[in-house]
Every structure is written in C-alpha cells, then in structure tokens.
Amino acid sequence: MRFDLRLPLGLLFLIFGAILVIQSFISPVADQAKSLGLDMNLRWGCVLLAFGGGALALALRARNRK
C-alpha cells in the first residue's frame, strides 16, 4: 500500500517549525543581529508550522473521506 505523501510532508515541516520556534526562545537576542535584527527562527518557524499543519490537514481530510 502506498501512503499519502502529505502525511510525512506535513509531519516533517511541523517538526522543523517546532524546532525553530523553540530555538527562538533559547537563542540569545544577540543572535538576531545576523538576520538583520529579525527573529527569523520565530517568524519562519511559524511559517513552517502553518505549512506543515496545512499539508497534514489535507491528508487527514482525504483519509476521512475514504
């Protein structure tokens, strides 16, 4: 049986997003100087969480329909 690729895809990006968000709380503020004063870990982490969540939601919806 093949599986819905959106499952691992969503899961992978949820994990990456979570890691980035957690890192943003651990990192000293001085680290943000590199990324032009922006907290890129927090911002991009949220984008990854949204993307991963979206892919996972689509996969689960397709599974429930079946």
Partner 1 sequence: MLKLSLGPTDLLIIAVYFAFVIGIGVALKRSMKKSSDFLLSGHGIPSWIAGLAFLSANLGAQEVIGMAASGAKYGMITAHFYWTGAIPAMIFVGLFMMPFYYGSKARSVPEYLKLRFDEKTRTFNAGSFAVMTIFSSGISMYAMAKLMNALLGWNFHACIWASATIVLAYIFLGGLTSAIYNEVLQFFLIVMGFAPLVFLGLKDCGGWSGLMQRLGLVSASHGFGPNAWSSSWRGLGAPSHNPMGVEWFGMAMGLGFVLAFGYWCTDFLVVQRAMAAENQTAARRVPLIAAVPKMFFPFLVVLPGMIAIALTYKAGQSSFALPIRPDGTYDYDATIPLMLQHYFPTGILGLGLTALMASFMSGMAGNVTAFNTVWTYDIYQTHVAPGKSDSHYLWMGRWATVFGTLVSIAAAYVAAHFNNIMDLLQLVFAFVNAPLFATFLLGMFWKRTTGHGAFSGLLLGTTAAAVHHGLTAPDVPIAAMSAFKGGWLGHVLHVYPSEMAQNFWTAIFAWSTCFVFTIAISALTRRTKTDDELRGLVYSLTERPQDEHLPWWKRPMWLAVIIAAGALALNLYFA
**Using the 8-state DSSP alphabet, how is residue 44 labeled?**
H
Taking CB under 8 A as the rule, does residue 9 contact partner 1?
yes
Residue 18 CB partners (closer than 8 Å, separation 6+): 45, 49
- In the complex with partner 1, the residue whose CB is nearer, 11 or 60, is 11
Taking CB under 8 A as the rule, does residue 29 contact partner 1?
no
- In the complex with partner 1, the residue whose CB is nearer, 9 or 60, is 9
Residue 60 CB partners (closer than 8 Å, separation 6+): none
Q: Please state the closest distance from residue 63 (CB atom) to partner 1, in A.
A: 15
